[in-house]
Amino acid sequence: MSSVLAAILLLAALAGMWWFQKGDLGEYRRFKALNDGHSRRMRFRLWLARSALAFLLPVLVGLALLGRINALAMMPGEFGGVASVLPPIFDSGEALQGMLVGGAIGGLFAGAVLARVRGRKPLGDVSALLPRERRELKYGAALSVMAGVTEEAFFRLYLPLLVALVTGQAWIGFAVSLLLFGAMHRYQGWAGILATTALGAVMTGLYLMTGSLWVVMLVHALVDLNGLVVTPLMGGMPRRNPPL
């Protein structure tokens, strides 16, 4: 019965992802053409709402229906075989956990400094997403946190779990999720697809080695905060907002 329910939930999850992605290339082209701040902020709000509906809501409802809501705090046993291939990180105590998080934060800020000094451009077609005024910084932060929470819950936990319940093979679930995660960023072009697929592979490995979903959520959010908030601030964003 659980496999049948998992199959139904899997189809629903894929349908939600299709709805989120429907017309994304044309929508992103129109977004890049926007010049007024109000229209851009309205688009940011729409993306936040759609992310919650397409990714977070299915995770919470689906896990509740499966009786697996505890998977948000504890890695499912179905992932044990894949996780055993990688060395665990948190077996040596909380000190290493703190070092990992602290190192991630420090490394991301250091990366922002180096990117500013070297004048590097972000990988992929993401320049339109960068805040253009102070009012947009809060939306950059909100999008970063939303992506970290919803995408990791969906692509690192929920989707692999559903595929594992249907096929009996967790590795298939992680492989499918990784491919879909990269494809979801097709609006960024091939460079963006490759970069996000690589990031997804790192997040998958980190999740399996730590067994902690919140760690990968945090790291993902920090990566996005670096690109959408920290780097623009260090790049000389105007101190004041333009007139409304």
Distance of CA 233 to the CA centre of its chain: 22
- DSSP E strands: which ranges in 55-195? none
Distance, in Å, from the CA atom of 89 to the CA atom of 99, rounded to the nearest integer, reads 11
User: Which pLDDT does position 117 carry in this prediction?
Assistant: 45
User: Which pLDDT does position 1 carry in this prediction?
Assistant: 61
Residue 196's alpha-carbon distances to 79, 190, 199, 200, 221, in angstroms, are: 22, 10, 5, 6, 13
For residues 136 and 39, the answer to whether their CB atoms sit within 8 Å is: no
Distance, in Å, from the CA atom of 24 to the CA atom of 30, rounded to the nearest integer, reads 10
**23-27, 36-40, 166-170: segment of lowest average pLDDT:** 23-27
pTM of the model: 0.85
Q: How many CA atoms lie within 13 A of 79 on its CB side?
A: 25
User: Which pLDDT does position 109 carry in this prediction?
Assistant: 55
For residues 135 and 41, the answer to whether their CB atoms sit within 8 Å is: yes
Q: Give CB contacts under 8 A, 24+ apart, made by 175-179.
A: 177/204, 178/204
Q: What is the mean pLDDT of residues 54-75?
A: 96
* Percent above pLDDT 90 for the chain: 51
Q: What is the mean pLDDT of residues 162-189?
A: 94
For residues 173 and 204, the answer to whether their CB atoms sit within 8 Å is: no
User: Which pLDDT does position 6 carry in this prediction?
Assistant: 96
Q: What is the mean pLDDT of residues 12-39?
A: 84
Q: How many CA atoms lie within 13 A of 208 on its CB side?
A: 23
**36-40, 171-175, 234-238: segment of lowest average pLDDT:** 234-238
The residues, ordered by sequence, that sit 6+ positions from 41 with a Cβ below 8 Å of its Cβ are 135, 136, 139
Mean pLDDT over all residues of the chain?
84
Question: At residue 236, does pLDDT exceed 80?
Answer: no
Q: What is the mean pLDDT of residues 42-51?
A: 92
Question: At residue 233, does pLDDT exceed 90?
Answer: no
Nearest to 224 by CA among 199, 202, 207: 199
User: Which pLDDT does position 114 carry in this prediction?
Assistant: 43
User: Which pLDDT does position 66 carry in this prediction?
Assistant: 96
User: Which pLDDT does position 89 carry in this prediction?
Assistant: 72
Residue with tokens 């409304």, as numbered in its chain? 244
* Percent above pLDDT 70 for the chain: 80
pLDDT digits (tens, 9 = 90+) for 111-157: 554 455 444 555 556 788 888 888 899 999 999 999 999 999 999 99
